[in-house]
Amino acid sequence: MTEPGQRLLTLFNVGTLSFGAGAALRCPEDLMDRGATRLFIVTSPPTRSLCHPLVSAIEKRGGAAALWDDLKGEPTFDEFAQAMEAARAFGADAVIGLGGGSCMDVAKLVAALYDGKQSIKEAIGVDLLKGRALPVACIPTTAGTGSEVTPIAILGDEDEDLKKGVVSRHLVPDGAYLDPLMTVTMPPAVTAATGFDALTHCIEAYANKFAHPIADIYAEAGIRLIANKIERACKHGDDLAAREAMLLASLYGGMCLGPVNTAAVHALAYPLGGEFHIAHGVANALLLPHVLRFNIEAAPARYAAVARALGAEDTGGDVATAQKGVDVIVDLAERCGIEQRMSAFGIDVGAVPRMAKAAMTVTRLLERNPRTLTEADTIGIYEAAL
C-alpha cells in the first residue's frame, strides 16, 4: 500500500456522468446533440424492454436505432464478433451499452474497434488499444461492474476457457447514465451477485499494493454503502433509496478499477467463469473470504479498516478486527442467498490444479495482491472454497 507521492496516479474520467432517476433518457439526447443519427444499442434479452423509451426518443428526433441482444451470458470473442458485424451492417455512428457489465463491455469494444484498424486479439492486454472509432455511452441496469466508468472490458476466450481483458484509456465512455429506475427489476440473485462484485472491487482496491489515497476514498465509501444496503436491495427491489445506494457503490468501485484495479480474488475467479461459467459476481463471492484470510497477515491495518467499514466490531487488534470483517462478509453473503461452496456448482478437487494454473497466468492482477501467491497457495485457496 502506497503513501501519497510514492507513485504516479492517473485518472481517466468519463466525459459526462448523469446520476439519478430519469438519467437514462439523457443518454440518446446527449449523443444526438453531438451529431449521432444511427445509434447501435448493445443489450440482453432481460433488459431489451428497458431500451424502448430510448429508441422512441431517438426516432422522435429523426434518428435510427438498432438493438443487438444476442448475449447468452458473459461475453465471448465469438459474441463480440457477432455484435461488431451487426453494428457495421447497421452503419452505426454511436454505440450505447445498456445492461450489465457484459453489455457495456461489448459496447465499449464495438465502439473502439469499429473501424477495423485493430483486431480484438491485438487489443488484449494493457494499453495496446490504439484509439476508439465511435462515441460510446453506458447505462447500467445492475449495480456491480462499474463498467460505465472503467477503462476495462472483459471477454471470454473459448479456446482457453479463460477471461481476457482489454485495459485502455480509450475504453472510458463518453457518457455514463446511472438511473436507479433501470435497476428495480433486477432479480434478488442478480442483485446479490453484482453487489458482491462491487464489494470485491472496493475491498481489493483498498487492500492493494497499488492502493492510493484518492482511490481509498471511493473504496471505503463503497464498502459502507454495500454493507448497509445490499440486503435491503435484495429483499425489497422496489426500494429506490437502496437501489440508488447500490448503484453509487458500484460507481465507486468502478472509479477504483482504472487507477488501482483488483487483485487475487478476481484472478482466481476468472477460471470459475471461463471453464464453469459461474457468474462473475458469484465467483468473487465464493472466493472473497478465503483470499482475505490468506492476505490478512500481509496488510492487517488495511483489512481492519475494511472490517470497520463493513460494520464489524473493532476488537482493538488489527488482525482480530480484520478476521471479524471476513465473518461479516460470510454472514452478508448468507443473508443475501449467495452460495458459499464451489462444489455446489459441480467443481471438484480434480479441477483445482488446472484452475490454479489458469489463475496464475493473470499476472496483471496477481502482482497487485498484498501477499504474493504461489501456485500451491492458489490450490490451497481453491480447496478451502470447495
Where along the chain do the CATH 1.20.1090.10 domains lie?
A: 188-385
- Tell me, what's the pLDDT at 1? 65
- Encoded amino acid at 26, one letter: R
Using the CB atoms, write b or e for 60-88: b if 16+ within 10 Å: eeebebbbbbebeebbbbebbebbbebbe
- Tell me, what's the pLDDT at 7? 74
Mean pLDDT by 10 residues, the chain (386 residues): 68 96 97 98 97 98 98 93 98 98 98 98 96 98 97 91 91 98 97 98 98 96 98 97 98 96 97 93 97 98 98 94 98 96 96 97 96 98 98
Residues 370 and 296: beta-carbon distance below 8 Å: no
Which residues lie closer than 8 Å to 56 by C-beta, 6 or more apart? none
Domain covering 188-385 assigned CATH 1.20.1090.10 in the classification: yes
- Tell me, what's the pLDDT at 383? 98
Where along the chain do the CATH 3.40.50.1970 domains lie?
A: 16-182
DSSP H helices, 13-119, are 26-33, 52-60, 77-90, 101-113
Q: Give SS3 for 67.
A: strand
Residues 219 and 308: beta-carbon distance below 8 Å: no
Indicate the burial class of 364 (C-beta count within 10 angstroms; 0-12, 13-18, 19 or more).
middle
- Tell me, what's the pLDDT at 194? 98
| Topology of the domain comprising 16-182 | Rossmann fold (3.40.50)
Separation between Cα atoms, residue 145 and residue 190, nearest integer Å:
12
Alpha-carbon dihedral angle through residues 260, 263, 265, 269, given to the nearest 10 degrees: 90
- Tell me, what's the pLDDT at 316? 84
The residue assigned the cell 437514462 is 24
- Tell me, what's the pLDDT at 159? 85
Q: Give SS3 for 38.
A: strand
The DSSP bridge partners found for residue 177 are 18
- Tell me, what's the pLDDT at 73? 85
CA 287 to chain centre: 16
